Amino acid sequence: MKVPPWPRPDPPFAAPKGAGRVRIALRACALVTVLAVLLPLHLLVRMAEAPLTQRRRPVSGYLVQGFCRACITMTGLRLIVRGAPMLKAGGVVANHGSWLDIFVLNARHRVVFVSKSEVMEWPAIGYLARCAGTLFIRRDARDALAQNAALAERLRRGEQLVFFPEGTSTDGLRVLPFKSTLFQAFFALSAENPVYIQPVTIIYHAPCEADAAFYAWYGDMDFGPHAAQILAARRGGCVELVYHVPLCVTDFPNRKALAAEAERMVRAAMPPERQG
């Protein structure tokens, strides 16, 4: 397979027809039903656990994970896991190719995502992200100290924080250079206790005869048409999660060296044609 150059133009989306529309309707109804059951239950559980655990989510986190697993099932994706997620608090870094990454990672292991602050204002998605305990940060160098303090606070509470160091999503057919900014918070906390970061590679395999970037969401692509394309597919593809050996932060002289090694590990697990 020849990988197209990056950046690449957004693909056109054809309106689903016939059986594709039926599949969209059935799968969308199933997702809405699951959400209608789990969301009120989640709110009730949070009302009970918040006074006792504050921002920690020992019970409601499982409800979020259940919803993510339901989403993966409804999209027809088959999940293949290699390696094992670490159990201790720390960071999880992965390549970023789709909005599906959030559901895929949370379906396998309970984590907390670090997201740009703009997502908080997105209709529906922003609300669901807040319910899931997402940590929102501003991508502004002037806020670096505040960002590091917020990350350190979450780590002290025992959470696993997921962020995508590429800084943007791609077509899933490559790994972009990792930005090292958010790695600094882990160095600040490592002075108190050993802190680990686990690299994870996400590899999407498109359904038969579909474009290799079928599941990718990047550039200025609209969410609705892309989600409709996935829900309309007669057969789903699969996604591989490759959990690598966690990296101890104190083994690296600085954040750039740590980011470079995490990037190398994530890229090395991609298929050969996607490692360029």
* Backbone region of residue 76 per phi and psi (left: phi > 0; alpha: psi in -120 to 50; beta: other values): left
Round to whole Å and give the CA distance between 62 and 23.
28
What six digits make up the tokens of 230?
Answer: 């996935």
Amino acid 125: pLDDT: 74
Q: Which of 47-56, 118-127, 206-215, 260-269 has the lowest mean pLDDT?
A: 118-127
Amino acid 238: pLDDT: 96
- Say if CB 73 and CB 67 are below 8 A apart: no
Percent of the chain past pLDDT 70, that is, above it, reads 96
At residue 140 the predicted structure's pLDDT band, cuts being 50, 70 and 90, is: low
Amino acid 141: pLDDT: 62
Cut 0.85: pTM above it:
yes
Q: Taking 90 as the threshold, does the pLDDT of residue 119 lie above it?
A: no
Q: Taking 70 as the threshold, does the pLDDT of residue 15 lie above it?
A: yes
Percent of the chain past pLDDT 90, that is, above it, reads 58
Q: Taking 90 as the threshold, does the pLDDT of residue 84 lie above it?
A: yes
Round to whole Å and give the CA distance between 230 and 207.
10
pLDDT in tens, 33-74: 999 999 999 889 988 888 887 677 788 889 999 999 999 998
